[in-house]
Amino acid sequence: PGQPRYLDPNMVQVPSLALEQVRMEAGRMGALLEKMLHEGFESVYLLDLEKIGQVRRWDDSIDHLYHAMSDYLAIISRNELPAPQSRALLNAMSVIGNMESIGDIIETNLHHLVHSAADRGISPSPEVRQRAEPMEKLVHAALQDAIQAFVKNDPALADKVISLQEKVDELDEQFKLYYLGQIRASGGESRDEHTYEMSLIDSFKRIFYHCRRIAKRVRDADSGREGA
């Protein structure tokens, strides 16, 4: 999966077509990120060391695709590009950079979380998954929509992702209040499991941050502004 499929070197002299190839390759990269996200969080809930090892290997493929697309975009940039295509190229660079960052978060943060929990004998209760599920579903939907917004150049879909910020903040606040309440009620005795849960939520938030940045690039490209 780490080998590019759509980056045709014969297309680079026609930037508009070459940029479409990048979008298609980003779709492949995004499909792998979605798989990583699902399997990564399964490994967190189950403390599955084999699963998280596979996630780490998939991240190597993400890195290879990222570098291949970056090199391809660099070649495209050697052409004399009109302003709209220059913006499209910069936006594509930003988008694939954010996608690569999402892969790093899934691989690095979750790998550390699973292994540290296993080493310390922390076994997440089924309730951890129940509480985390709303945030997980929201972030998974945001990732899927952000990538498709870029692939299809769909600003309406990008706006949908951006609008999820309020819900993310609301869920985060609920988790913080629950966490503080549980720490007080237990006198700190169950701090390890609750810290594990908060680390999981922090990973969700960081992934969403990059999804939102992708969406803002798509939206701002549509309006002719430079994205965040």
Q: What digits encode the pLDDT tens for the residues 47-65?
A: 999 999 999 999 999 999 9
pLDDT in tens, 19-36: 999 999 999 999 999 999
Report CA 175 to chain centroid distance, whole Å: 21
How many structural domains comprise the chain?
1
- Quick one: pLDDT band at residue 70, thresholds 50, 70, 90? very high
Single-letter code of the amino acid located at 48: D
How much is the pLDDT for 228? 47
Are 96 and 70 in contact by the 8 Å Cβ rule? The answer is yes
- Assess whether pLDDT exceeds 50 at residue 160: yes
- Quick one: pLDDT band at residue 191, thresholds 50, 70, 90? low
Over residues 191-204, the mean pLDDT reads 84
- Quick one: pLDDT band at residue 190, thresholds 50, 70, 90? low
- The dihedral over CA atoms of 139, 141, 143, 148, expressed in degrees to the nearest 10, equals -170
pLDDT in tens, 86-124: 999 999 999 999 999 999 999 999 999 999 999 988 888
Spatial CB neighbours of 158, under 8 Å, sequence gap ≥ 6? 145, 146, 149, 214, 215, 216, 218, 219, 222
Q: For residue 15, tell me if it sits in a domain.
A: yes
Spatial CB neighbours of 83, under 8 Å, sequence gap ≥ 6? none
Higher pLDDT, 188 or 102: 102
| Residue 152 belongs to domain spanning | 9-223
Structure tokens, 141? 């939907």
Query: In whole angstroms, what is the distance from residue 51 CA to residue 44 CA?
Result: 9
Are 81 and 15 in contact by the 8 Å Cβ rule? The answer is yes
Q: For residue 65, tell me if it sits in a domain.
A: yes
- Of 160, 194, 158, the residue nearest 176 (C-alpha): 194
- Of 145, 147, 141, the residue nearest 65 (C-alpha): 147
- Determine if residue 166 is left, alpha or beta; phi over 0 gives left, psi from -120 to 50 gives alpha, anything else beta: alpha
Report CA 8 to chain centroid distance, whole Å: 26
Q: For residue 2, tell me if it sits in a domain.
A: no
Q: Identify the residue whose tokens are 């994205």.
A: 227
Q: For residue 181, tell me if it sits in a domain.
A: yes
Q: For residue 4, tell me if it sits in a domain.
A: no
Query: In whole angstroms, what is the distance from residue 102 CA to residue 36 CA?
Result: 10
Q: For residue 66, tell me if it sits in a domain.
A: yes
Q: For residue 228, tell me if it sits in a domain.
A: no
pLDDT in tens, 110-120: 999 999 999 98
Mean pLDDT of all residues belonging to the chain: 92
* Distances from the Cα of 206 to the Cα of 29, 72, 190, 226, angstroms: 19, 28, 25, 22
Q: For residue 83, tell me if it sits in a domain.
A: yes
- Determine if residue 130 is left, alpha or beta; phi over 0 gives left, psi from -120 to 50 gives alpha, anything else beta: alpha
How much is the pLDDT for 196? 85
The proportion of the chain whose per-residue pLDDT surpasses 70, expressed as a percent, equals 94
The CATH number linked to 155 is 1.20.58.220
Report CA 127 to chain centroid distance, whole Å: 25
